[in-house]
């Protein structure tokens, strides 16, 4: 009995190891240093304007696509122009701050709109109950419950109307 269990365990272990050996390797990774000196990682080759000395790691059995000399010269000539026209670091930080501020304001506006919609629904529901004529009870300041008088009902209806007009747009 134990011999049978031992052989099954061994067979299972061998099958698992065989499957592990057959699994494909991770995606090919490129690693290079960009024009600003930052290290970049990607599963795609670096842009053609990155020199071979700046490529820090290549995937095995993968060659970088070659660029014709004319295309390289065209890219080399356009690189200074694009670098000069690109916004500076301070400008990009300012635009990212502005973007974050816009996102924060949009989130606040969304939250305010949702709160107004919830107030509108609650007020409309309360108004339906008040106008239905069903007997209601109201709490006093001492915590006791008393039947709602007609005057109390009319006061609360006026209050719900003002809430509805403010929140239901």
> What is the layout of strands, in order, in the sheet containing 55-57?
39-42, 30-33, 55-57
The pLDDT confidence band at residue 79, using thresholds 50, 70 and 90, is very low
Which residues are CB-neighbours of 58 under 8 A, at least 6 positions away? 30, 64
CA distances from 135 to 11, 125, 129 (A): 78, 16, 9
pLDDT winner (highest mean) among 32-41, 72-81, 89-98 = 32-41
pLDDT higher than threshold 60 for residue 87: no
Mean pLDDT of all residues in 76-99: 64
Indicate if the pLDDT at residue 103 is higher than 90.
Answer: yes
Given a cut of 80, is residue 71 above it in pLDDT?
no
Q: Using one digit for the tens of pLDDT, what is the confidence trace for 136-151?
A: 888 888 888 889 899 9
Return the SS3 of 28.
Answer: coil
Rounded to two decimals, what is the model's pTM?
Answer: 0.41
């Amino acid at each position: 009995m134990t011999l049978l269990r031992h052989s099954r365990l061994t067979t299972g272990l061998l099958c698992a190891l065989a499957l592990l050996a057959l699994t494909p390797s991770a995606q090919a990774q490129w690693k290079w240093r960009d024009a600003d000196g930052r290290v970049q990682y990607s599963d795609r080759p670096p842009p053609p304007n990155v020199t071979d000395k700046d490529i820090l790691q290549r995937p095995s059995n993968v060659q970088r696509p070659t660029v014709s000399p004319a295309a390289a010269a065209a890219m080399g000539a356009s690189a200074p122009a694009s670098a000069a026209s690109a916004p500076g670091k301070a400008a990009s930080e300012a635009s990212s701050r502005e973007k974050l501020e816009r996102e924060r304001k949009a989130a606040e506006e969304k939250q305010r709109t949702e709160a107004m919609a919830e107030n509108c629904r609650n007020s409309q529901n309360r108004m339906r109950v008040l106008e239905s004529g069903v007997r209601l009870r109201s709490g006093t300041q001492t915590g006791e419950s008393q039947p709602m008088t007609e005057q109390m009902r009319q006061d609360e209806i006026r209050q719900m109307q003002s809430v509805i007009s403010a929140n239901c747009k």
